[in-house]
Structure 1
Amino acid sequence: MPGEPDIATVAQAIGEPARAAMLLQLMDGGEHTARALAAVAGIAPSTASSHLRRLGEADLIEVTDAGRQRLHRLAGPAVAQLVEALAALAPPRLPDRFQPDPPAGPLLRARVCYGHLAGQLGVDLAVVLREDGVVGDLAPGETSVVRTFDHPVLAALGIGELPGAGPAVRACLDWSHGTVHLAGALGTALLTALLGAGWLRRRPRGRALRITETGRRRLGELGVG
């Protein structure tokens, strides 16, 4: 019969600054080479291999072959939720040599959280859509449906339906602001549409997003922020 889960194995895999930095980079929802993750963590590529192997053994990441490259990604949404929950409890910053570019300010304003939008902008959008009845009040981890697509923000971004797979809405705890932003299919659709409309831009490194001048103006007109 199974006993209590061995959370120490997962904790030990995460509990090293270089591996933590790699996991935070993988929270962008993308796939990265060992060399790219080594650069983020400030370590040599040869050293990165052993760290990535440890993360793989703990089932925190997955590896796929793409030609001559090996690409690494988070093992799934449950891992992303774990990393975000740990971030909510953690000290405010990794050691300086493991800090990704850009600095903390942009990261707190808008960032990618495993395929959806986080940071102040993600929280602001969640507040507007909740107050206007598009989604209900949700505690972290709870899921729901989209009550209506008849909303100026969704109309401006061309969001009128969502794919059927997975929850439509999931409340994700935002570590930087202590409240929830929107994950699930709606969260993914919002991030995709904001990037597609040019209201947000990805930065060269890290998860932080840049809000463009067009984005600031249009979001302001829609009462967001």
Structure 2
Amino acid sequence: MSNGSLYTHVQNGIATVEFYHEASNSFPSELLDRLAKAFNLLSENNDVNVIVLKSEKEKAFCAGASFNELIAIDNLEDGKQFFMGFANVINAMRNCKKIIIGRVQGKAVGGGVGLAAACDYCFATEAASIKLSELSIGIGPFVIEPAVERKIGVAAFAELTLDATNWKTAYWAKEKGLYAKVFDTINEMDKEVDFFAEKLANYSNEALSSLKKVLWKGTEDWSLLLEERAEISGKLVLSEETKKALQKFKK
């Protein structure tokens, strides 16, 4: 449990992927690897038409990558591999043949915003504020940028990134295109998630898979692009300025 948990359940054409970590549903590298593999397996599962991605508990949806692992990086190769965690997940979601529905019940930071952006359709509650805080610790949201910008556009991405210490509301995220619908309560959201997933599960699997390819048209170079972005972040995290910012943030 120190590396969190990940459960996959398949019923009536719907696969539910649920992750948890005690540190605000953040992702150590091992858990990111398991998530990427889960999407790859479900992509080839003929019993699955649609996937619902969710996290446990009622507060944070996802606080991004593991801070403890981030602060321990001391060489370029480890830095690149750390940031490849979310790169591999985003590429697995992009290449997955199934439509992925995001269920965002609470705040999303950094990589958590990237996860929401990599979903094909996303439901949220009004508690699902978002923040990209990377600049405030001397790095940047380079790996998740393609996925986030694809959903909300360059101007909104710049606003979100440069205003690194402030939260944007769930309604702001909906207005920009990250969320499709925002609900007052988790109960209301879950009813709509279930209804929507059941509806999609009854559609043609072939049609949904073909639509998925259309939705992600123009992203064919992302395997290389996200690796290059991971290397940029891996270099930045080794700088003295970033190390000082991380130590200050830890305190």
TM-score by length of 2: 0.27
TM-score by length of 1: 0.29
**Greater percentage in helix:** 2
Which of these two proteins has the greater Rg computed from alpha carbons?
Answer: 1
